[in-house]
Amino acid sequence: MARVKTKYVCQECGYETPKWMGKCPSCNTWNTLVEELTTKSSSKHTGIGQSSNVQPESITAIKSNEEERITTDMPELNRVLGGGIVVGSLVLIGGDPGIGKSTLLLQVSDQLARKKERVLYISGEESTRQTKLRADRLAITADQLFVLSETNLHLIKNQIEQLKPDFIVIDSIQTIFKEEVTSAPGSVSQVRECTSELMRIAKTNNVPIFIVGHVTKEGAIAGPRLLEHMVDAVLYFEGERHHTFRILRGVKNRFGSTNEMGIFEMKEEGLREVQNPSEIFLEERSEGVAGSTVVASMEGTRPVLVEIQSLISPTSFGQARRMATGIDHNRVPLLMAVLEKRVGLLMQNQDAYVKVAGGVKLDEPAIDLAVAVSIASSFKDQPCKPDDVLIGEVGLTGEIRRVSRIDQRVQEAAKLGFKRAIIPANNLDGWTIPKTIEVVGVNSVQEALELTLN
């Protein structure tokens, strides 16, 4: 006979305990432990590999083959995935509600279906008629695109066995449930078991599966972190609902590089790719204004030119405020301390507001020099030269340290018409400088300020 036991599972990290607690001892979150019923069978459980005769092999004897990929008509999506959709992979895509996840996957499904690939789009949140309304708006008419509105995993498996699709979309994983699991759909147990079953379907049938995941108010994918560990790739769809631009960012990819970024623009007829994002981020830049600089940042393998804006104003309170949007907020007071100590700019009684224009999030150290010069420009009320691009990491002693892939950054700046690039002096050797741009090496923040501020 099967025995029914009660346990409490944290919906944030998956921690299990036999009794309820107000605070999870694993992730320190409050009121996240939910009661779940588990059934323990008295019979022995047979493991996956118990009856297998697989023997360990030498790493040199294993043959390595190039992964078979399905290329879509979206080069930006292919870039983020590392060159296309790997056959047999399980990809998780997350994003805020209404950001465009379903629109993106429906457009990709239509493109693959037009290539005579049999596509199964499973919607657990909308009926087939609602999906059809979105498809009409996106002008989707491929007859090899099949739509199913179902949340029962057992019935979904039956339809997959009958249809034998070449590409599957699950929208979303939080709505799918497995009958053997007694907890509610979206719980830790349901998400873990359903994702594990979908992973087996993808690997055994050699069919790629895209699953949509909801995100929490903090921006992380809802459910335990185990969900991100199980899948082959994790993509985040970012952007403001009231702005047209969307950023598809890869944070995990077993078949390609991480931190790749694809730019899309939401139109009336769906998502449209942005081939040159640097032009988009700089098209509304105001020249001759203090506090504005341009930096060449690397997003994966792609260089992107972005404007950094700073506003320094006298504080009206007892303690000065430090606010940042698009970069780590701890970086602003650190760079301001370097400017005070090494350059002599007294900003203790100044409020500082730093923003990355365009809604991009930059987290690499190569943007330090552009941020520091932007802050100093606003503090002195002296505009920087509009044709300058600044690249470099700032150390606590005021030195400018070398950065990676300096040749790609400078080439992107030259392509967009910038006349001068201020880079670390240690980055001057070992590459060919484009003829259309002047490259100046600096060793300290003081030298950079003397060059950029009139």
Nearest to 128 by CA among 139, 116, 120: 120
Binding residues: 95-102
Give the full edge-to-edge strand order of the sheet including 16-17.
16-17, 3-10, 33-40
**Three-state secondary-structure class, residue 309:** strand
C-alpha–C-alpha distance, residues 72 and 59, integer Å: 33
C-alpha–C-alpha distance, residues 112 and 412, integer Å: 32
Q: Is the peptide bond before 172 cis (omega within 30 degrees of 0)?
A: yes
C-alpha–C-alpha distance, residues 74 and 334, integer Å: 40
**Three-state secondary-structure class, residue 198:** helix
Enumerate helices (H) and strands (E) in the chain, giving the number of each: 11, 23
Contact 387, 416 (CB under 8 A): no
Binding residues for ATP: 95-102
Phi, psi for 102 (deg, rounded to 5)? -65, -35
Q: Which two tokens stand for residue 244?
A: 């047209």
Contact 127, 242 (CB under 8 A): no
Measure CA of the first residue to CA of the last residue in the chain; give whole Å.
84
397 secondary structure, DSSP code: T
Nearest to 286 by CA among 205, 384, 393: 384
Q: Which two tokens stand for residue 291?
A: 């506090």
